[in-house]
Structure formats: C-alpha cells, structure tokens
Amino acid sequence: MEYLGINPQIELFINRNSTPNWIIEDATTDFYDLTYIFKGRAYYRINGTVYEVNQGDLLCIPKGSRRSATTDTANLMISYALNIQIYDREGKDVNLPFPLISHIGEPEELHSLYNELTFEWLKKNRGYELKTRALLLMILHYYFKALYYKDNNVNIDKRIQRSIRYILSNLQNQIEVEVLASIAGLTTAYFGTLFKKYMGASVKEYINKMKINNAENILLSGEFTVQEAAYKCGFEDIYYFSKVFKKIKGFPPSRILIENSRSDRQEVETLSKRISETNAV
C-alpha cells in the first residue's frame, strides 16, 4: 500500500506536560494514539504489556488497543499527543505501518512542525482545521520517511541542507561545487564526501537529477520547447541536456512533447465528436 490517499483527521492534540500524579486511565481507544516523547520518561501499558518510552521515542498505538500510562516521577514526560482517525478514499479505516515504539530522535524539522501545530491548534483561527490537517500530513510524511520508506536522509546535516536549498533555488544557473562548499562552510573535498554520505549521490549527480526533474515539469506543462526547457535548467548545450535527461529518465525529453501532442489531438477529436453528436440530435 502506498498510503498516498490517506485522509487523517485530528480528534485531539495536546502538548502534554506531565505532573508527578499524571495518568491515563485504563481504557480501549477508539482512535490512533500517535505520541512523540519530547522529554522525560513514561510507562505505557498497551494490551497488557508495559513499555518504557523515553525522549525521542514515538508511540503509535493502534485503534482498538487497551491503553493506560504513568510518568516517571523523577523524569517527568513532556510529549506531543495526537488522537487521530485515518481513513482511505472510501472512508474505511487505515492501519499505519509503524512499529508500536520507534526511536525518532530529536530532529529540528519535527520539532518545528509540532510547534506550528500547537500554535494553530490553540489559536483556532477561522479555517484552522485545514491548516492543522496539513501540518498533520507533514508530520505523518516525516514518520513515513523515517519508518516506512526507510529514507536515510531524514536527519540531514544542516550544512548540507543549506547547500541543497541553494541548489533548488538556482536550478536555472550553473552551480559550482566550490560555491556550495563555501555555503556549507567546508572544504570542497570534505563537502563532497559529506554530501554523498547524506544524499547517496555525488554533488554533480544530485544537481543533474534536480535539474532534469525540473526540466520534466517544464516540458509537462506543454508551454516550452526542449531547447527552452534546457536553457531554463542551466544547460547551454541541448545535446548534452538530452543525453543527461535520457540517462536519468530512461527516455529522451522530446517524448514528453510527442505524448502531450498526441493527448491534445485526442481531446480535440473527442470534443469534435461530441459536438457533432449534439448537432445531429
């Protein structure tokens, strides 16, 4: 299952700061309990088994589970707790493919998402339901990357993140490795090694992939020629562009234009047929 069409709904969200006497009474949940432990320690009894959770852990308690909890009085738990429903496009329940307990760590990106969700949830401005649902999807996407897709790039070094932001903002230009290394504050050689460690590709391979992905989007719009798409992505030599495009995508860029043209003709033919049928009536 790809989980691309899931429809999550928040029933309750709370930034939980436990007191020494804090407890969750024993009961069966009629929602998914997605709790991220920000600090401290707690003990959850789930379906008869006690689990210790600590800072950086994620609890994913399935709907219909028997659940109770207490905190460690010497190390009070602070957590972000989401009680959610997860449906598919037909409105049927969806089971999340996460372990009961996972160690996520303390990534800045995740903390930022939870902080923003807290802000929007408590403000409750007009339309907040849409914004909080969007943030929930982003949080779920983070967990999918870390736990389901096994994306090794979840916690990318901040220096590499800065260089990636520069790349994505300058796809129309020539991008020099020396400039990226300077942005990251590293020597060129070490930057290249660190980049490949986190991104699984050399700097040049990554730049070309992003440029070609951008070129594909431009061509799919049907508004530009292959040559124009090449120039917009920083390729001055259209033959080199076509060679790189085919190597990455497995087909030449001209194929997109051909398929777009064929699709347009079919739409025109269908429309003409409908008009003729209407006039005949």
Q: Does residue 93 belong to any structural domain of this protein?
A: yes
- CA 95 to each of CA 6, 36, 62: distance values in angstroms, whole numbers, following the listed order: 10, 18, 7
| Residue 3, pLDDT score | 85
Same domain, 111 and 24: yes
Pairing assessment for the beta strands 78-87 and 32-39 based on DSSP bridges: antiparallel
Q: Specify if 280 maps to a domain.
A: no
Last residue of a domain, which of 148, 174, 208?
148
Residue 172 CA to residue 273 CA, distance in Å, equals: 42
Q: Is the domain of 30 the same as that of 135?
A: yes
Comparing CA positions, the residue from 185, 220, 192, 217 lying closest to residue 207 is 192
Asked if 101 and 49 count as a contact pair (C-beta separation under 8 A), the reply is no
Q: What are the phi and psi torsion angles at 275 (to 5°)?
A: -65, -45
Q: Is 270 a domain residue?
A: no
Burial class (CB within 10 angstroms; exposed 0-12, middle 13-18, buried 19+) of 211: buried
Domain limits for position 91: 7-148
Looking at 99, 130, 148, the residue that finishes a domain is 148
User: Rounded to whole angstroms, how far apart are CA atoms 221 and 216?
Assistant: 9
Asked if residue 271 is part of any domain, the answer here is no
pLDDT at 127 over 70: yes
Q: What's the average model confidence in pLDDT over 11-36?
A: 96
**Residue 33: pLDDT over 50:** yes
Would you say residue 66 lies in a domain? yes
Q: In CATH, what number is assigned to the domain containing residue 165?
A: 1.10.10.60
pLDDT band at residue 268, thresholds of 50, 70 and 90? very low
Domain contains 38: yes
Q: What is the DSSP letter of 42?
A: E
Residues near 64 by beta carbon (within 8 Å), at least 6 away in sequence:
28, 29, 30
> How many distinct structural domains can be found in the chain?
2
Find, among 102, 135, 104, the residue nearest to 13 by Cα.
135
Specify whether 71 is located in the same domain as 130: yes
pLDDT for the residue numbered 260: 78
pTM above 0.75, yes or no: no
Are both 108 and 174 inside the same structural domain? no
